[in-house]
Each structure stands twice: as structure tokens, then as C-alpha cells.
Structure 1
Amino acid sequence: MSKTPNFTGWRAVILAEEDSNVERLRRQLSLLGLSSAMQWLPLGGGDLPDLVIVDADRGWDELLPWPAKRPARPVVALLGSEAPGRIAWAISCGAGAIVPKPVTSASVYPALVLAVSSHEQRKEEEARIAHLEERLRLRPVVFAAIERLKVQKSIDEEAAYALLRDNAMRQRMPIERLAALFLGGADVMREVG
């Protein structure tokens, strides 16, 4: 995240029971421009809020609708316990930050910023990994295109790869896409020189 977010207009859901900590938290969220709702029921997977705050001292696995460590929204844990199991549970929920109990006004904003930053970084890493996995799955297509070029042009593997790579760069497309188009019969290979 390159800049600190402005939380004005954001919606938060606090998964906790009403107490003085939640009251202070809601007051601070309001001052930061967030609207908040509180519930002590599992969060539905439908219209998700912008931010989820969960009582990690009392939470349970089915409280959040996503798989472990893959939150659909930034998560902040409310935590008063030092119990390793409760900390591990908060991490497994995808919590990117902790607001310690008792809640103080100075602890809320930094936790929100950290949770949002952590969530955005996780999404970027997942997208990068998915992109690399897709390229890896398409490697056989590139190898097949190289083999076809070797036969058609009577060139060695290195020259075939260079021809494929140079055409991909010239046409500003991934080499995997150019290889698939070439194997599909499209006239995409031009002599580069």
C-alpha cells in the first residue's frame, strides 16, 4: 500500500458481544468516518463489509465465511488474551492486525491501516502467484511451438525460441499467448531482423 487509507464511508462489522471495549471501538470508528454494525452471529458471505473486526478471545471457526488464512476482507482481531491458541486463531482468520483490550483510541487507527495494508499485500501476492502458475501451465504450449518452428524453419531450438520471443516482444504479448496463437494456425510469426 503506497498511502495511508482514508476510511471515510467504509463499513465495518464487529463480530463481538456488546461491552465497554466494543463501545470504545465503535466510537473511535465513527470518528474515523466508518459506519459499524455489531453482531455475534457468523458473518454471511453475501454483502461483505469493507472491514471485519472480530473478538479473537471468544471467536470460533465458523464465525467467518472464508477459508483459513484467506480473508475476503481486511480483518482486525480484538484480543485481550495472551493465550497462544487465541493468537493462532486470530492469525488463521487472516487478521492483519490486533487491537488490544482494553481498547484505547490510539490503538484503533494503526491497526486498521496495518490490516488493510496486509490484506492488499496478500491479494497482490495471490494474483502474482496465480499469474506465474498460469504461465507455468502454458509452458508445454511454448515447447510445442518451438518444436514446430524447428521443423518449419529448419533451425535449432535456441533460434526457434529466439524467434518466438522476439515476435512476442514486437507484438507486445506474452510468449505463451503468441505460442498458442501460432499453434492454432494464426499467422503471427514474422521474421525478426
Structure 2
Amino acid sequence: MIDVGIPNFQGWQATIIHRSDENTQRLERQLQRLGVAARLIALDVSAVELRRQSTHIVFFDVDNGYDGMLPWTVGEAPVPLIALIGSEAPGRLAWLVAQNPDAFLQKPIQSSGVYAALTIATQAKAARTRVRDEMARLREKLAARPLVVRAVIELMAEGLDAETAHAALRRRAMTARRSIEHEAALMLAASSSSKARRA
């Protein structure tokens, strides 16, 4: 079980992309009770405003939303996104799903649900960020695998079999407290430099 603790949003800044109405008024009141300052911006200037202002979380209107309303590539928002949805029309739901929000609130906004949406959105965003970072790390590692193969081949040229050469490279990396990929790159660079001096 993941321990999320009791989230505290005191001092946060929220941006609400929605026309002013009873829903936004209720949402602003609930956010204020949680210590979150809210800023309402119009749908037609949202992308421009979001680029200029800092915010901790974004609430956005699905019913009147449009492509390009949010300035980020889908899934790349730097903050958690909470969708505000009233219509269950298939086109609106398809657009909602395409925005990849971290949580949603059903309209009309009620006095309950805002804290839960904030908590779910921040946890989902944190989890998504961890997965993205891990994928980037694995891609980097995968891209460096040819260096490991070349380093093992170079060690094999010194008379070691493949398994022993790989174990020797791993040992060197562990001793130096580096990844095997980093150690392979350093070994190949040193070897290349040494060969250049001999030539």
C-alpha cells in the first residue's frame, strides 16, 4: 500500500480555465477553505496566460474546451490537471480523455470532492512523473548498451571469455560506483586515447 500522507495544499496557487459562473464560485470557495489561492482565466486566452503565470494546479472546463487550450503536449503538463465536466456527450468525453487529466470534478461543483480531486491529481501526476523519469533512465541505459558490448569485446581481446569479461567490467563499475554503461564509456575512451598515442 502506498502511503500518501495527508496532503496539505496551503499556499498553493490554482488556475481555473472556465467562464465565471456558479461552478467556479463554488470551486473558488472550496479552494479558499483549503488555503489555495485561485485565479480564473478565460478559455480564449488560457494558453497564453498559462505560459506567463506560475501555478501549482490547473482546473479546466471540458464542456467548452478546445484543442490548443492547454499550452502543453498531452501528458507533458508540468502541473496536475483536473478536468471540470458537466456534459457526457461522446465528443466531450473523447476530448477529455485526449487531454489526459490527472483527476476530474463533475459539474455542478459541490462542497465535497475538491480535496479528493486535488489529492488524486497530485498523486497521479507524481506517479506519472516517476514513470516518465524511469523510462528516460531506461532509454538512456538501452542506448548505452552498445558501449557495454564494445567494452566486453575489448576485454575479450585480452584473452577473457565473454562471461568473465562482462563480470570484470561489472566489477570495475561497482568499485568505481558507476553504472556499467558509464564505466564502459570511460574504458573505451581511455582505450581509444591510448591507441591514438601509440599510432
Q: TM-score, normalised by structure 1?
A: 0.91
Check whether the contact 1:56–1:86 (CA below 8 A) recurs between aligned residues.
yes
Check whether the contact 1:71–1:93 (CA below 8 A) recurs between aligned residues.
no
RMSD of the TM alignment (CA)?
1.4
Check whether the contact 1:71–1:94 (CA below 8 A) recurs between aligned residues.
no
User: Which AA in structure 2 matches 1:90?
Assistant: L
Runs of 4+ with deviation above 4 angstroms: none
Counterpart for residue 87 of structure 1: 93
Deviation at 1:58, TM superposition (A): 0.7
Deviation at 1:72, TM superposition (A): 1.7
Counterpart for residue 18 of structure 1: 20
Deviation at 1:157, TM superposition (A): 0.7
Deviation at 1:68, TM superposition (A): 1.8
Instruction: List aligned pairs for 1:91-170, cutoff 5 A.
Output: 91-152=97-158, 154-170=159-175
Q: TM-score, normalised by structure 2?
A: 0.88
Deviation at 1:115, TM superposition (A): 0.8
Match of residue 56, structure 1, among 43, 51, 62: 62
What is the rounded CA distance, in whole Å, between the counterparts of 1:50 and 1:91 in structure 2?
Answer: 21
What is the rounded CA distance, in whole Å, between the counterparts of 1:140 and 1:185 in structure 2?
Answer: 17
Change (3 A) 1:46 1:179: farther
Measured against aligned partners, the alpha-carbon deviations of 1:135-186 in whole angstroms (never above 9, x if no partner) come to 000001001100111112x111111001011221222210000011111117
Measured against aligned partners, the alpha-carbon deviations of 1:16-61 in whole angstroms (never above 9, x if no partner) come to 0000010000000000010010011223324331000001111111
List alignment gaps of at least 5 residues for structure 2: 192-199
Match of residue 42, structure 1, among 33, 38, 46: 46
List alignment gaps of at least 5 residues for structure 1: 187-193
Deviation at 1:109, TM superposition (A): 0.7
Residue-pair matches, total: 185
What is the rounded CA distance, in whole Å, between the counterparts of 1:113 and 1:92 in structure 2?
Answer: 22
User: Which AA in structure 1 matches 2:170?
Assistant: R
Identity among equivalent positions (%) equals 38
What is the rounded CA distance, in whole Å, between the counterparts of 2:99 and 2:70 in structure 1?
Answer: 7
Deviation at 1:88, TM superposition (A): 2.5
Check whether the contact 1:42–1:62 (CA below 8 A) recurs between aligned residues.
no
What is the rounded CA distance, in whole Å, between the counterparts of 1:14 and 1:117 in structure 2?
Answer: 19
Secondary structure of the equivalent of 2:190?
A: coil
Higher helix share: 2
